[in-house]
């Protein structure tokens, strides 16, 4: 990227102010935004950062980088049962950038604002060594209805939305892992790595279903471990039940090693939750909750050793 002539205030006024459609953002012309109180609702807040070289590549399309930055936060809100409404954006730009890149980045945000019914409230822009994006997202939920990690109980079933491992497959392709995939399968996996598909609209349905929930960001086994720890229970995940796309199965196969790899790859941004057994919906039953502690991956009735349950930031 070539260094652009725009300064911070031009970036705000010309690139991001058009995204701040809510009156409480004041057209990004003030030091803060105002969110009106909503009697009977709780405000749910989450924040996530994505960084070049760790969460995306410098050559990824700017619009898709923006969408990923936003969606990893919308995934958290959905897992809590909240409806997303607003977000803040902190953008750290490296020494070179172009107006075209910024416009494409803003276009990606606009696409998702229109899709998910949200708007920008404000944020910050600064210079740094590498590209880094931090989004803080806000959502509303009827008072007292947020679904926590704690709440799972013995006898619950464990469910997950979507498919697991696709993003890990996409990353493996970028890392030049050998494959004989069709162009369609290759593009599917790369697409899931670059732009996750969190079940945002499904989040509200969780309020009447789930006892505990978590978004699957660091890996299915690792994130279910958060529910097990917070709830003081044991979770058994049946490997054969973990939903995997035909594209990932074509890439990694169906052996237990491939299933375990998918379950620990991370970056899926689906929702894992516990609820009564026997439910039907846009999700898959993958296990059970019992007394005890920790998470086990079970294959043909036997525990499978999992050396690394998911991604670790440190």
Contact 216, 271 (CB under 8 A): yes
pLDDT tens column, 76-90? 999 999 999 999 999
d(CA 299, CA 263): 13
List phi, psi (to 5°) of 132: -145, 135
Task: Report strand pairing: 270-275 vs 212-216.
Answer: antiparallel
Q: What is the DSSP string of 247-277?
A: HHHHHH-SSHHHHHHHHHH----EEEEEE-T
pLDDT tens column, 92-128? 999 878 999 999 999 999 999 999 999 999 999 999 9
Contact 92, 1 (CB under 8 A): no
Looking at residue 3, its pLDDT comes to 43
Q: What is the DSSP string of 27-85?
A: GG-SSS------TTEEEEEEEEEEEBTTTB-TTS-HHHHHHHHHHHHHHHHHHTTPEEE
Question: How many C-beta atoms lie closer than 10 Å to residue 75's C-beta?
Answer: 26
pLDDT tens column, 22-41? 999 999 999 999 999 999 99
pLDDT tens column, 239-266? 999 999 999 999 999 999 999 999 999 9
Looking at residue 313, its pLDDT comes to 55
Looking at residue 87, its pLDDT comes to 98
Q: Please give the span between the terminal C-alpha atoms of the chain, in angstroms, as a whole number.
A: 30
Work out the average pLDDT over 190-212.
96
Q: Which of 184, 211, 207, 202 is nearest to 269 (CA)?
A: 202
d(CA 93, CA 123): 14
Looking at residue 5, its pLDDT comes to 59
Contact 25, 119 (CB under 8 A): yes
d(CA 70, CA 88): 10
Work out the average pLDDT over 163-175.
97
Say yes or no: domain 157-302 is CATH 3.90.650.10.
Answer: yes
d(CA 72, CA 311): 15
In this structure, which topology does domain 8-20+38-142 adopt according to CATH?
60s Ribosomal Protein L30; Chain: A; (3.30.1330)
Domain coordinates of the chain in residue numbers? 8-20+38-142, 157-302
- pLDDT tops 90 at residue 308: no
- pLDDT tops 90 at residue 314: no
Q: Which of 118, 267, 134, 111 is nearest to 201 (CA)?
A: 118
């Amino acid at each position: 990227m070539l260094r652009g002539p725009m300064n911070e205030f031009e970036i705000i006024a010309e690139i991001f102010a058009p995204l701040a459609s809510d009156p409480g953002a004041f057209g990004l012309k003030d030091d803060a935004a105002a969110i009106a109180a909503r009697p009977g609702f709780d405000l749910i807040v989450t924040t996530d950062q994505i960084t070049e070289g760790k969460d995306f590549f410098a050559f990824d399309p700017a619009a898709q980088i923006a969408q990923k930055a936003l969606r990893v936060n919308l995934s958290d809100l959905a897992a809590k049962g909240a409806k997303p409404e607003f977000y803040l954006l902190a953008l750290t730009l490296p020494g070179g950038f172009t107006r075209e890149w910024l416009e494409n980045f803003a276009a990606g945000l606009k696409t998702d604002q229109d899709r998910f019914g949200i708007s920008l409230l404000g944020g910050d822009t600064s210079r740094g060594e590498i590209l880094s994006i931090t989004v803080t997202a806000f959502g509303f939920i009827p008072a007292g209805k947020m679904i926590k990690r704690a709440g799972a109980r013995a006898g619950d079933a464990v469910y997950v939305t979507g498919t697991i491992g696709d993003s890990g497959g996409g990353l493996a392709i970028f890392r030049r892992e050998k494959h004989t995939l069709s162009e369609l399968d290759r593009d599917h996996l790369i697409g899931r790595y670059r732009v996750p598909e969190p079940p945002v609209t499904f989040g509200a349905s969780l309020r009447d279903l789930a006892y505990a929930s978590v978004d699957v960001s660091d890996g299915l086994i690792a994130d279910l471990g958060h529910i097990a720890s917070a709830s003081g229970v044991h979770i058994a995940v049946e490997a054969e039940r973990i939903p995997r796309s035909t594209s990932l199965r074509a890439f990694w196969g169906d052996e237990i090693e491939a299933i375990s790899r998918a379950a620990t790859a991370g970056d899926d941004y689906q929702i894992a939750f516990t609820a009564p057994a026997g439910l039907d919906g846009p999700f898959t039953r993958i296990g059970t909750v019992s007394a005890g502690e920790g998470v086990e991956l079970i294959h043909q009735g036997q525990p499978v050793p999992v050396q690394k349950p998911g991604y670790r930031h440190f």
